[in-house]
Amino acid sequence: MSIIGHRDHCGKRALSIRDCHDPPDGREQACRYNPPLRRSVSAHHSAMPTTVHSSRRYLAVLAGLAVAVGIALYPLLRGSRGPLPPPKKSNELIVLVRPGPAFFFTGPEGALTGFDVDLMRRFAEEKKLSLRFAVADTAAQVISAVANEEAHIGVGGLYRPLAMASAASKAGPSETGGGSADAPLQEVLWTTQVASAEPVLIYNSDGYKPANWDALAGDTVAFVPDEGFAYEIHTVRIAHPEIKWNPLALPSVAGLISQVSDGTVSYAIVGSLAASLSRNIYLDFDVAFPAGGKRDIAWAVAPRFTDLRKDLDAFILRVRKDGTLARLTDRYMPDPRQIQRIDAEMLQGRIRTLLPRYQSLFHNAQEKSGIEWRLLAAIAYQESQWDPAATSATGVRGLMQITEDTARHLGLENLMDPAQSVVAAARYFRDLKAKLPERIPEPDRTWLALAAFNIGLGHLEDARILAQKQKLNPDSWSDVKKVLPLLALPEYHQYAKLGYARGGMPVAFVDRVRGYYDVLLAHTTAHRSRLGALTPAKEPQSPPSAETTK
């Protein structure tokens, strides 16, 4: 996946991932890896978020989470290097990654985030190592570079090769498209599993849905060679020689899903995780049937660093046992079925037709509150579907569906005025986030504040206390959402400070807002103020609380 800086471009050729300037502000690096004879594209580093403008469909990789916000790129320092030293010797861990939603992307406010980012940070912190990221275009490029010891570790949704005898090697480039991450020539070590997915056959939902491979006789199935399914493709090819195969050299599987959705390609093999995360971004494709068994997603380690692989395996087993892995899976790979397909289609239509009327209001609210405008727009869509005249059965009104009591508390004079309503809701949401314990990190802080926006801070605190009583983490949204529905049951709400609550509602609210937010990230761009940076208002200090969750 190519990431192009929006400022100055240069034509220097990358000789090594290690040829990067140290970041001036001490943040993690994310330099651009380029194989020999390829040109690198650099942008001046900035401590503020950098916006990157690429093809809209290209940026909707897998789930459409934004990769549109800048990963800083660094110019080169030197043209020669010795062998890559072990992390313990250099006190530095170099990680080469294939970017994409879920595993590695840049968030709306410019910070690197994702499943692999969080895990790498934790591991580096435990080992007291500085952490350096570099980005590459494809899975095959990541694995090849790690095999050549250009980096210690390769990550980014990589499928660990199967113990597959000689099937993939016999298939050869002419049969599988070549360049597969399954090819046995890639000499790397592999860690234990961090996630899993299976290959699936997808089809254009306006076309024929095949029940199995027999139904595809004479048809063509497309695939991206670097995705790592060469073994499954070869197996099917032997059993069903009547099926034609079309390897497409696309920068990411998102491009292939897009082509199936728009009808350019009838059938394709992709990973189930990619299909799941893309479900509400590309609306005219669906899964026909599994194309193989579950595959392990793992990390590639340079072949010389066996001790590093052992340390990583021990780390993965530990975070699986303590629940961290499950929480990160929930955080970055949520169930997309919370938004029905027809709802996502309506949202995309309203992004084109209705959102432009109110976008400046959300931009203004971001500048006054510091809350990212697309998150505010997602809340507003959940509340009113961007209808400023909406009135609920309980009497809440306006674009943001603010209650009369909350309006009085916020000094909101006219609930039906969209401009007032959006700013008031943004400030209210900001205040809710500020009242949560400072130790709660993002994105859990945002998801918990969203639950409080829906059900009230008092009921959220009751749920957090209940979570703690049940030996769960009161600072983790994935744990708190397990106990929120219990507040509707007498055996639980009789002990809650505020009593009964319809605890299932905030769980559905948060999941739907998250889904809408993902779609908005894929179809809209970040807003920067006239001063060229986000200018969040200062958040109030969180008042002390006597609750045990403090």
What tokens were used for 371? 């809350």
Last residue of a domain, one of 265, 294, 323: 294
The answer to whether residue 15 sits within a structural domain is no
Residue 28 designated active-site: no
Closest CA to 280 of 63, 528, 49: 63
Distance between CA atoms of 480 and 496, rounded to whole angstroms?
14
In terms of domains, do 260 and 350 share one?
A: no
Range scoring the smallest mean pLDDT among 273-277, 336-340, 416-420, 450-454? 336-340
Please tell me the predicted confidence (pLDDT) of residue 111: 72
Instruction: Name which residue leads in pLDDT, 343 or 133.
Output: 133
The residue among 23 and 487 whose pLDDT is bigger is: 487
Is the pLDDT higher at 414 or at 120? 120
User: Domain boundary residue among 312, 332, 352?
Assistant: 332
Taking the C-alpha atoms of residue 55 and residue 228, their distance in angstroms, rounded to an integer, is 25
Residue 550 lies in a domain: no
Name the token pair of 185. 């020539």
Asked whether residue 548 is assigned to any structural domain, the reply reads no
Same domain, residue pair 259 and 350: no
Is 156 or 331 the better-scoring residue by pLDDT?
156
Amino acid at the residue 136: A
Average pLDDT, the chain: 79
Residue 283 located in a structural domain: yes
CA atoms of 161 and 184, how far apart (whole Å):
8
CA pair distance 304, 310, nearest whole angstrom: 12
Among 311-320, 392-401, 451-460, name the one with the lowest average pLDDT.
392-401
Residue range 18-43: mean pLDDT, rounded: 44
How far is the C-alpha of 355 from the C-alpha of 385, rounded, in Å?
A: 10
Does the pLDDT of residue 91 top 90, yes or no? Answer: yes
Whether residue 70 sits in one domain with residue 35: yes
545, pLDDT greater than 60: no
pLDDT tens column, 359-408: 999 999 999 999 999 999 999 999 999 999 888 766 788 899 888 888 88
Confidence class of residue 339 from pLDDT cuts 50, 70 and 90? low
In a domain, residue 3? The reply is no
- Would you say residue 13 has pLDDT above 70? no
Q: Which residue has the higher pLDDT, 549 or 40?
A: 549
Highest-pLDDT range among 7-16, 18-27, 163-172, 430-439: 430-439
Which residue range(s) make up the domain with 494?
341-523
Same domain, 289 and 302: no
The values of phi and psi at residue 156, to 5°, are 120, 50
5 domain residue, yes or no: no
Q: How many domains does the chain fold into?
A: 3
Cβ neighbourhood burial of 130 (10 Å; 0-12, 13-18, 19+): middle
Judge if 513 and 482 occupy the same domain.
yes
Same domain assignment for residues 270 and 305:
no
What is the per-residue pLDDT across 154-179, written as a single tens digit (0 to 9) for each? 999 999 988 643 343 344 444 444 43
3-state SS of the chain: helix, strand, coil percent to 5? 40, 15, 45
Estimate to the nearest angstrom the gap between the alpha carbon of 139 and the chain centroid: 17
Q: For the chain, what's the residue count?
A: 550
Tell me the CB-side half-sphere exposure of residue 191, using CA atoms within 13 A.
Answer: 27
Q: If we measure between CA atoms, which residue out of 283, 281, 245 comes closest to residue 261?
A: 283
What is the reported pLDDT for 421?
A: 93
pLDDT in tens, 246-269: 999 887 888 899 999 999 999 999
State whether 418 and 400 are in the same domain.
yes
Instruction: Reply yes or no on whether the pLDDT at 528 is more than 50.
Output: yes
pLDDT score, position 443: 86
Q: Which residue type occupies 291?
A: A
Phi-psi region of 129 (alpha: psi -120 to 50; beta: other; left: phi over 0): beta
Residue 13, domain member (yes or no): no
The pLDDT score that the predictor gives to residue 44 is: 30
* Torsion angle (degrees, nearest 10) of CA 280, 282, 283, 285: -120
Where do runs of H (alpha helix) occur along 411-456?
418-435, 444-455
Q: 462-512, pLDDT tens digit by residue?
A: 999 999 999 999 999 989 999 999 999 888 989 999 999 989 999 999 989
Band the pLDDT of 8: cuts 50, 70, 90.
very low
Q: Based on the fold, state whether residues 369 and 412 are members of the same structural domain.
A: yes
State the pLDDT at residue 110.
60
Task: Return the CATH number at 349.
Answer: 1.10.530.10
Same domain (yes/no): 217, 357: no
Residue carrying the six token digits 């090594």? 16
- Asked if residue 279 and residue 358 are part of one domain, the reply reads no
pLDDT at residue 307, rounded to an integer: 96
Q: Does residue 181 share a domain with residue 133? A: yes
Residues facing 51 on adjacent strands: 69
Pick from 114-128, 152-166, 413-427: least confident: 152-166
Q: Calculate mean pLDDT across residues 527-550.
A: 43
Among the candidates 294, 320, 350, a domain finishes at 294
Rounded to whole angstroms, the Cα distance separating 108 from 372 reads 7
Q: Say which residue, 111 or 86, is predicted with more confidence.
A: 86
Residue of 175, 383, 413, 547 marked active site: 383
**CATH of residue 256:** 3.40.190.10
Kindly report the three-state secondary structure assignment for every residue of 270-333. Answer: EEHHHHHHCCCCCCCEEEEEECCCCEEEEEEECCCCHHHHHHHHHHHHHHHHCCHHHHHHHHHC
Residue bearing the bigger pLDDT, 183 or 454: 454
Q: Based on the fold, state whether residues 105 and 34 are members of the same structural domain.
A: yes
List, as one string, the DSSP characters of 494-521: TTSTT----THHHHHHHHHHHHHHHHHH
Q: Which residues contact 254 (CB under 8 A, 6 or more apart)?
A: 57, 58, 60, 61, 62, 64, 100, 274, 278, 281
For the chain, report the end-to-end CA distance as a whole number of angstroms.
43
Mean pLDDT comparison of 282-291, 392-401, 402-411, 521-530, highest-scoring range? 282-291
Q: Is the pLDDT of residue 242 over 70?
A: yes
User: Does 446 fall in a domain?
Assistant: yes
Containing 351, the helix (H) or strand (E) segment is helix 341-353
**How many other C-beta atoms are found inside a 10 Å radius of the C-beta of residue 286?**
16
Cβ distance 381 to 347 under 8 Å?
yes
Q: Which residues, at least 6 apart from 391, have a Cβ–Cβ distance to it below 8 Å?
A: 397
133 pLDDT exceeds 70?
Answer: yes
